[in-house]
Structure 1
Amino acid sequence: MITLVSALLALGVTGAETATGAAGSSDLYVSPSGDDQANGTVQHPVRTLERARDLARDRVADLDGDLTVHLAAGTYRRSKPLVLDARDSGANGHKVVWQGTGNTVVSGGRKVAGWQKDEGRPGLWSAPAPQGLTDTRQLYVDGVRAQRARGAVPVALTQTATGYTASSGTLAHWKHPSDAEFVYTSGEALWNIERNGLGQWTEPRCRIAAAEGTTITMAQPCWDNSNKRVEFPDIPGRTVSMVGPGRLTNGGRATYIENAYELLDQPGEWYLDRTEHRVYYLPRAGEDPTRADIELAQAEKLVDGRGTASAPVHDVAFRGLQFSYATWLTPSRPEGFSEIQAGYTITGDKGWATQGLCQYVEGGTCPFASWTKMPGNVSFAHGQRIEFSDDVFAHLGASGLDLGAGSADSAVSGSIFTDISGNGLEIGGVDGQTPATGVQVTNNHLYGLPREYHGGVAILNGYTRHNTIAHNQIDHVGYSAISMGWGGWPDKIGDPATANPSHDNAVRDNLISDYMQMLDDGGGIYTQGLTGTSTADGEKVTGNVIHDQLGLGKSVYTDNGCTYETIEGNVLYGAAYANVGSRHTDYRDGLGNNDPTLIKGNWWEEGTADGDNKGLVTSGNKIMATPSDVPSQVLANAGLEPAHRGLLNRKIGAAAAPEAPSRVGTGTAGADALQVTFNPSFADGGSPVTGYTARAYDARGSQAGEQSVSATEFKRTALVRIGGLPASGGPFTVTVTARNAHGASAPSPASLPLTPTAVHALPGAPTGPKLRAASTAATVAWTPPTATGDAKVIGYRVTVSDGRAPIDVRGRDVLVTQPSAKGMFRVLGGLAPGTSYTVTIAAVTAAGTGPTATVTATTKP
């Protein structure tokens, strides 16, 4: 027995040291090398999760303790999900525990073997696709996500009712044009960046159906759902969905095209030829496909908990498992990815005309805003007392984990969510079904996501009750970190927010940083719609530390219809234009008040004075010049608690070069120079990004200039200047690469072309200056100038009458606030109480420093 136990321990079978294997033992043992004809004892483990499930079903009725299914280290490959229902629940107050070792992987992947160099393309390799795999959207090399082949759209496109007319028949001559997918990346219209897509918080995708000559027909219903969204006949431009435009903006121009053999031109790109049943891959430097573990994602779900309201799945735990290599194929099908917000999409043949439009259109489905949620690769509906702890959700193609409608008294703790295509964790829904209640999400690390559907969020919480999201660390995410609630958009037309069952939800003591790294109009904690029936049971946002936002948004964003939220005791800094907001009218009555909101006792930079703005109460907030102004225990309490901080050191996948930057924009910096801005890499390859290199190309595609910048300097200025460009070479496009200790990324998609011009005219003065003074610090606030002269605003010069050196205000907020006329602010520390100060602010462009705006105030005694 000692020899057997030692062998099992070496294989990673947990509990083997105490197991006896005697008849009547309820525990079960599973090993990748087991045998499903065995009885599941420690001596005779079974091989598959289904066999273990079926054996467990026979034992749960008589439980007098937890039944543990011990999964030995190794990979458990899935082509379909492990389906659990009420029969797979615990009993008698005990759980069924699926216990891994930390090296136990539940995988939906298929290993790709038989790699050969491609004779026709230098550097290209190919291999037969695994038998039975007909489609996928993800390929991984040694645990590193590869990029589906992508590039610029090679023709000019004119939008039509069914797609486009192309300037030439290039696409029609591709091998499989109907595989290709247009991607519409939206964003704030700054610095020569296109505002494509369906709102600056979205990134919709639609596949080509056919390309014949110069006629491009797009797949349906994705195309209509993205271009025919119903508008109010008496409110020009306002869709009945009230979320974003009614059609793809900028003439339907795609930002880039993806998934075609002809686009294979960068190391790390791949393509699946479904007709030839063959995979193509351009290896990165140092990769040998014959030795690497190359996985294609096949299964769309790994675990599917199918409870019902009358027969829930309950008392099940998953501990020490990694869930990886699952895909999601709906965006590759005609349905596409017609995004609304946070991974919700419009679906169905007439979705644009009816889905979620409820009372506003004939035949509208209810409740209002009940659009289609992105699925989870691991999911539970009507799950009670479901637990995920010490797990990893990585290398996934949809949302990582979905605790859907009817989830109750469940917990997610001590787990990692990273390298996920869409949302990290989803809780509840917005479709009027049973709300999720009593879900605890604590001490998890969510980072480096979303990797494909960039409008996704780290944690999505719909209509829920008594949920707690606490002590998580969320960093390096493309859009909002935590999204709460739904259905507040009717206030855009003067109607009250959609009634919903939410109340008593808490978001507390989380550490959120480096968020909104790709899209705009979101926040660290973003809330939509009614959160309760009063401030007593409304949403509580307390004790969070939120800093370093890149995109246009707010630290804590109270969006349309957000009512009865309390925002108290948070530390908020480094936001683009506001720490907390926004003000919205409460349309539940005709009194003209604002949505009741309490903003109390926060440390922030905004500096708004105490007051009661028709129900929007601001009280006792403290201006902070630096984090050192905040009590150390407040900072230390946010994020992972001490017992869980080891999660930050756990590496997922092999270290690699970072993901490419995105959304490159340019502005003139003189007759021979361009200023360049871009969205940095938020997926760093497991090693911090150290710098970026911007390269300018002339109209013939030849490199005309180059400039590098450290990651630290780019974070400070958000700019790179490329000078010495030839006078006759324009217009120029620019791409940017990121680098870390393991190499350089692929180039970003190119900027729009721009010819630099001489700059002489200075910008105007900033407008609306204010000085919001405390006793030893003050917030100086202003609005960008209405006239910028010949060039873009790249900074501000702030001077203070106490003789300190002028303050050079730089950063991404300088760039994103200008085109939208959003306010700017900075904190002045080290002031003397009871003293009058005069502050001037001037805008800076490539032409120089403009005239000043002046404001004077006296600090509090």
Structure 2
Amino acid sequence: MPAPLRPVRRRAAAVLAVLAATATALTTTGIPAAGAAGATGLFGAEHRAASSAASSAADVYLSPDGDDHASGTAEQPVRTLEHARDLVRARTGHLTADLTVHLAPGTYRQSEPLVLDARDSGGNGHRVVWDGAGSAVVSGGRQVTGWQQVAARPGLWAAPAPSGLADTRQLYVDGVRAQRARGEVPVDLTVTSTGYTASAGTLATWRNIGDAEFVYTSGETLWNIARNGLGQWTEPRCPIASATGTTITMAQPCWDNSNKRVEFPDIPGRTVSMVGPGKLTNSGHASYVENAYELLDQPGEWYFDRSAHTVYYLPRPGEDLRNADVEAPVAQKLIDGGGTAAAPLHDVTFRGLQFSYATWLTPSSPGGFSEIQAGYTITGPTGWATQGLCHFVAGGTCPFASWTKMPGNVSLAHSRSIDFTSDVFAHLGAAGLELGTGTKDARVSGGIFTDISGNGMEIGGVDGTEPASGVQVTDNHLYALPREFHGGVAIVNGYTQHNTIAHNQIDHVGYSAISMGWGGWPDKIGSPATPNPSHDNAVRDNLIFDYMQMLDDGGGIYTQGLTGTSMADGEKVTGNVIHGQWGLGKSVYTDNGCTYETVQGNVLYGAAYANVASRHTDYRDALGNSDPTLVKDNWWEEGSGDSDNKGLVTTGNHIIAAPSDAPAAILGNAGLEPAYRGLLDRRIGALAVPEAPSRVGTATAGAGALQVTFNPTFADGGSPLLSYTAHVLDAAGHQVTTADISAADFTDRAHLRIAGLDAGQAYTVTVTATNAQGAGAPSLTSAPVKPGPATVLPAAPSGAKLRTSAHAATVAWTPPTAIGDSAVVGYRITVSDGRTIDVTGRDALVTQPSGKGMFRVIGGLAPGTAYTVTIAAVTGAGTGPEVKVTATTPAA
């Protein structure tokens, strides 16, 4: 009998993208040194030979050691991107061949973006190609040197800030992102209209308290994790303006935009934005505080004292700051290109370039980061009351849901026929690549997107202006993101037309992998989705796994709002393989107002409570029909039978008990095409210990025992995770015991049990992750809990169903609402043929407090046979009563 279906894991190597056809590989330990040159000249004999056949007399050559007074030939290269642009600009009017800008190996440092417009375009049927040959880095960073040990703080080092560094939100050591100093809020907080009253004046004694910010995360309250955000899909941040005595004043307008979102007067609790709550949940308590000197206590943490112009860092084991490449991002954009609708930038290729070390300072401003979804934020002094609320409020700005998009560190708008080929987007502080309003016929292929603070790639917008169209995003690897703004998405696609997202691999991401569409939320109040220009978009043949590793309420592919005008031109989601979800959500999530969606021929498994969902009423008329949706010929675990639910058509889908039950052709075709699979074997930056796990929660498991759960790290340091260690601390913060679990076992179980504790004492827990490089920093501390007795069994599950095919059946149930005095950690399924199946995993933990249904597939069944299945919940008190269901498999 096959075991219950579990996600197939494939390690996603930390990679650096170049096609097999591209020339020089990047170094594996970080950015090439500035001015690095081949042994036979600035460009090297191999580079010159490879490019000579395609070179034009108009070509321009750059080197980090060049001279902007030079002519720009291979023998006399210029130094800066701006000067190269000016040489190109003087030549584009008379092109008889493609004009290539050849970047010699090395680092090209930018304090301001390279600005491109229509004058920098190709012409006469030819292109301008910016070619880094896989060895050129466009960097917005400044090297931090002159490190000295701080006498009064053993282990702490300090260095003067480099010239031009006024502020930054990131620091990197040998290509490895450091953690801004963070820790628990050291006082109790009571919310006021302008911030908080603290239980003590501790924060008022900190140096530079105006640099610190509160971060608000979310979680499952059953596991002693407070919901502190603006929805389980968000992680807002607000700076502290000042602290005087016990009075903490928060920065405006971030505070109001996060706590005063206008609500419908006749719909209690429903914001007019219709996305999340009107204020920070859990009474507005902060989950943790970040960016303070006083919090520097873990290896890998840093702090920039702007007033003293000094950078502080606690090195990780093995790091030597005297020899390390320490980079502080200065620029907020590396390329800012486009033009106007009438005069766009066009026919330009960026090939073999690495874009790194850019920051984004808006979240550090009084506006903060008042997130609403997918990196979009509420901004402006009256944003909470008017922004994007259109006709629903007096003075609302239109169109509905036109909130503020996170910018791209590489950003283009009003551009035509722009290609990004074999490029790397890494070590970035905003979104990686933004193809914004008016982008047409762009291609992004063979690229790597990793170690990015927010969204990996953004296409189009939601402001109702000219939609992006004809964008093809193919054969890219996006992984280990977002690293700072954890509600970000690997690929965000707004209002667009004729776009294709295909053959990409997306893995190890904190929230949803791909987000499509916008503006569907009015169906929450019985209104139709916002009209928009989207149509003819396709998401096909992608491989998505290990997604939603940190936040909830998303999916592998998430879509909402109108996707077209009919089933013919609506969005097509086909041929994708999606598995290994961690957070609460769905494989393909058809959310509010998702209309004219086709979900066909995908392989979907390892999701929390649905493979494809959900039904929504189409409010464009009063007929009560569903939003037109076709769910056809998928291979999945969900097992829903054929039906036509008022326009939601489900037909021809197949239950699978293992991935091998799905067609090999679909499995083999999804993800990177063969010519691009070498991307998976490359990495960027030095190998490092893993990032800390997140959202640690605890529950009693009986007298003297605790159950511990947490979210795994999705940034593994370029080396596979081996294990996790839970550290149990007493009330004084002293470690009393530890417990280990392998990474593989934790993936299956999602919790561990620790016994031998004092039933009368409250304990907190931190968790560290370990790979071959060692153990990473500990997580933030869980809330305290006493390991009291667990003696009351849970109630029986309800709503049991058995959805059968000839050889397999999906057993579905609703978790019990009464669970006794412990948390649900699993279920026990018995089958009338004598088998017992223990159900564990993240979904077993999170579906109960959320009230979501669960399912598992039972394989190895005989056709035409009656089966009885029972399901019982398991807690620290034991196994509860069963619910029973019987069904007969159809004849083969």
Q: Which band: TM-score by shorter chain?
A: over 0.9
Structure 1 letter corresponding to 2:160? P
Alpha carbons 2:144, 2:328 under 8 Å: kept: yes
Give, in whole Å, the separation in 1 of the partners of 2:344 and 2:582. Answer: 42
Secondary structure in 2 matching 1:106: strand
Alpha carbons 1:15, 1:70 under 8 Å: kept: no
Secondary structure in 2 matching 1:316: strand
Secondary structure in 2 matching 1:270: strand
**Is 1:712 paired with 2:744?**
yes
* CA deviations over 1:666-715 (Å, ceiling 9, x no partner): 00011101100000000000001111000111111111221000000000
**Aligned counterpart for 1:169 among listed residues 201, 205, 212:** 201
Structure 1 letter corresponding to 2:564? G
* CA deviations over 1:97-148 (Å, ceiling 9, x no partner): 0001212100000000000000110100000001121100000000000000
Task: Name 1:731's counterpart in structure 2.
Answer: 762
* CA deviations over 1:547-578 (Å, ceiling 9, x no partner): 00000000000000000000000000000000
Secondary structure in 2 matching 1:819: helix
Task: Name 1:279's counterpart in structure 2.
Answer: 311
**Is 1:840 paired with 2:866?**
no
What is the deviation of 1:347? 0.4
Task: Name 2:845's counterpart in structure 1.
Answer: 815
Alpha carbons 1:153, 1:254 under 8 Å: kept: yes
Alpha carbons 2:759, 2:788 under 8 Å: kept: no
Task: Name 2:474's counterpart in structure 1.
Answer: 442
Structure 1 letter corresponding to 2:827? Y
Alpha carbons 1:13, 1:101 under 8 Å: kept: no
Task: Name 1:392's counterpart in structure 2.
Answer: 424
After TM superposition, the structure 1 = structure 2 runs for residues 284-303 of structure 1, keeping only pairs within 5 Å, are 284-303=316-335
Give, in whole Å, the separation in 1 of the partners of 2:389 and 2:285. Answer: 27
Structure 2 letter corresponding to 1:745? G
What is the deviation of 1:399? 0.1
Task: Name 1:88's counterpart in structure 2.
Answer: 120
Task: Name 1:31's counterpart in structure 2.
Answer: 63
Alpha carbons 2:38, 2:44 under 8 Å: kept: no
Q: How many residues matched?
A: 855
Alpha carbons 1:693, 1:709 under 8 Å: kept: yes
Secondary structure in 1 matching 2:824: coil
Secondary structure in 1 matching 2:41: helix
Task: Name 1:777's counterpart in structure 2.
Answer: 808
Structure 1 letter corresponding to 2:886? T
What is the deviation of 1:307? 1.5
Query: Does the C-alpha gap of structure 1 residues 20 and 513 become closer, same or farther in structure 2, counting only changes over 3 Å?
Result: closer
Structure 2 letter corresponding to 1:474? I
Alpha carbons 2:523, 2:617 under 8 Å: kept: yes
Query: Does the C-alpha gap of structure 1 residues 21 and 97 become closer, same or farther in structure 2, counting only changes over 3 Å?
Result: closer
**Is 1:689 paired with 2:721?**
yes
Alpha carbons 1:14, 1:99 under 8 Å: kept: no
Structure 1 letter corresponding to 2:252? Q
Give, in whole Å, the separation in 1 of the partners of 2:225 and 2:412. Answer: 40
What is the deviation of 1:529? 0.2
Task: Name 1:788's counterpart in structure 2.
Answer: 819
Query: Does the C-alpha gap of structure 1 residues 181 and 799 become closer, same or farther in structure 2, counting only changes over 3 Å?
Result: same
Task: Name 2:290's counterpart in structure 1.
Answer: 258
Give, in whole Å, the separation in 1 of the partners of 2:657 and 2:47. Answer: 51
Task: Name 1:507's counterpart in structure 2.
Answer: 539
After TM superposition, the structure 1 = structure 2 runs for residues 89-168 of structure 1, keeping only pairs within 5 Å, are 89-168=121-200
Alpha carbons 1:326, 1:395 under 8 Å: kept: yes
Task: Name 2:41's counterpart in structure 1.
Answer: 8
Which deviates the most, 188-197 or 73-82? 188-197
Task: Name 2:793's counterpart in structure 1.
Answer: 762
Give, in whole Å, the separation in 2 of the partners of 1:486 and 1:186. Answer: 23
Alpha carbons 2:690, 2:775 under 8 Å: kept: yes
Alpha carbons 2:222, 2:823 under 8 Å: kept: no
After TM superposition, the structure 1 = structure 2 runs for residues 320-359 of structure 1, keeping only pairs within 5 Å, are 320-359=352-391
Give, in whole Å, the separation in 2 of the partners of 1:321 and 1:535. Answer: 40
Give, in whole Å, the separation in 2 of the partners of 1:623 and 1:650. Answer: 36
Give, in whole Å, the separation in 2 of the partners of 1:10 and 1:379. Answer: 28
Give, in whole Å, the separation in 1 of the partners of 2:217 and 2:50. Answer: 54
Task: Name 2:447's counterpart in structure 1.
Answer: 415
What is the deviation of 1:789? 1.1
**Is 1:197 paired with 2:197?**
no
**Is 1:532 paired with 2:561?**
no
Query: Does the C-alpha gap of structure 1 residues 5 and 361 become closer, same or farther in structure 2, counting only changes over 3 Å?
Result: closer
Task: Name 2:778's counterpart in structure 1.
Answer: 747
Alpha carbons 2:563, 2:597 under 8 Å: kept: yes
Query: Does the C-alpha gap of structure 1 residues 447 and 209 become closer, same or farther in structure 2, counting only changes over 3 Å?
Result: same
What is the deviation of 1:9? 6.9
Query: Does the C-alpha gap of structure 1 residues 109 and 589 become closer, same or farther in structure 2, counting only changes over 3 Å?
Result: same
* CA deviations over 1:327-385 (Å, ceiling 9, x no partner): 00000010100000000000001111110000011110000000000000000011100
Alpha carbons 1:13, 1:70 under 8 Å: kept: no
Alpha carbons 2:43, 2:105 under 8 Å: kept: no
What is the deviation of 1:457? 0.2
Give, in whole Å, the separation in 2 of the partners of 1:368 and 1:468. Answer: 25
Query: Does the C-alpha gap of structure 1 residues 359 and 761 become closer, same or farther in structure 2, counting only changes over 3 Å?
Result: same
Query: Does the C-alpha gap of structure 1 residues 646 and 373 become closer, same or farther in structure 2, counting only changes over 3 Å?
Result: same
* CA deviations over 1:229-287 (Å, ceiling 9, x no partner): 00000000000000000000101111100000000000000000000000000000011
What is the deviation of 1:14? 3.7
Secondary structure in 1 matching 2:524: helix
**Aligned counterpart for 1:184 among listed residues 206, 213, 216:** 216
Secondary structure in 1 matching 2:458: strand
Runs of 4+ in 1 over 2 A off after TM superposition: 8-22, 187-190
Query: Does the C-alpha gap of structure 1 residues 17 and 779 become closer, same or farther in structure 2, counting only changes over 3 Å?
Result: closer
Alpha carbons 1:694, 1:707 under 8 Å: kept: yes
Query: Does the C-alpha gap of structure 1 residues 197 and 21 become closer, same or farther in structure 2, counting only changes over 3 Å?
Result: closer
After TM superposition, the structure 1 = structure 2 runs for residues 616-695 of structure 1, keeping only pairs within 5 Å, are 616-695=648-727
Task: Name 2:300's counterpart in structure 1.
Answer: 268
Give, in whole Å, the separation in 1 of the partners of 2:729 and 2:84. Answer: 59
* CA deviations over 1:750-809 (Å, ceiling 9, x no partner): 1111011111111111101000001111100000012111211111110111123x0010
TM-score (norm 1): 0.98
Structure 1 letter corresponding to 2:626? N
Give, in whole Å, the separation in 1 of the partners of 2:47 and 2:707. Answer: 57
Give, in whole Å, the separation in 2 of the partners of 1:6 and 1:735. Answer: 51
Query: Does the C-alpha gap of structure 1 residues 379 and 14 become closer, same or farther in structure 2, counting only changes over 3 Å?
Result: farther
Structure 2 letter corresponding to 1:736? V
TM-score (norm 2): 0.95
What is the deviation of 1:65? 1.3
Give, in whole Å, the separation in 2 of the partners of 1:807 and 1:517. Answer: 25
Flag the structure with more relative contact order, 1 or 2, with Cα contacts below 8 A and sequence separation at least 6: 2
Give, in whole Å, the separation in 2 of the partners of 1:143 and 1:615. Answer: 51
Give, in whole Å, the separation in 2 of the partners of 1:196 and 1:154. Answer: 17
Structure 2 letter corresponding to 1:79? S
Structure 1 letter corresponding to 2:813? W
Q: Unaligned regions of 5+ residues in structure 1, if any?
A: none
Structure 2 letter corresponding to 1:780? V
What is the deviation of 1:13? 8.0
* CA deviations over 1:580-605 (Å, ceiling 9, x no partner): 00111100000001101000000000
Query: Does the C-alpha gap of structure 1 residues 790 and 17 become closer, same or farther in structure 2, counting only changes over 3 Å?
Result: closer
Task: Name 2:517's counterpart in structure 1.
Answer: 485
Task: Name 2:27's counterpart in structure 1.
Answer: none
Secondary structure in 2 matching 1:8: coil
Give, in whole Å, the separation in 2 of the partners of 1:727 and 1:790. Answer: 14
Give, in whole Å, the separation in 1 of the partners of 2:166 and 2:658. Answer: 54
Alpha carbons 2:575, 2:603 under 8 Å: kept: yes
* CA deviations over 1:135-162 (Å, ceiling 9, x no partner): 0000000000000000000000000000
After TM superposition, the structure 1 = structure 2 runs for residues 557-576 of structure 1, keeping only pairs within 5 Å, are 557-576=589-608
Secondary structure in 2 matching 1:7: coil
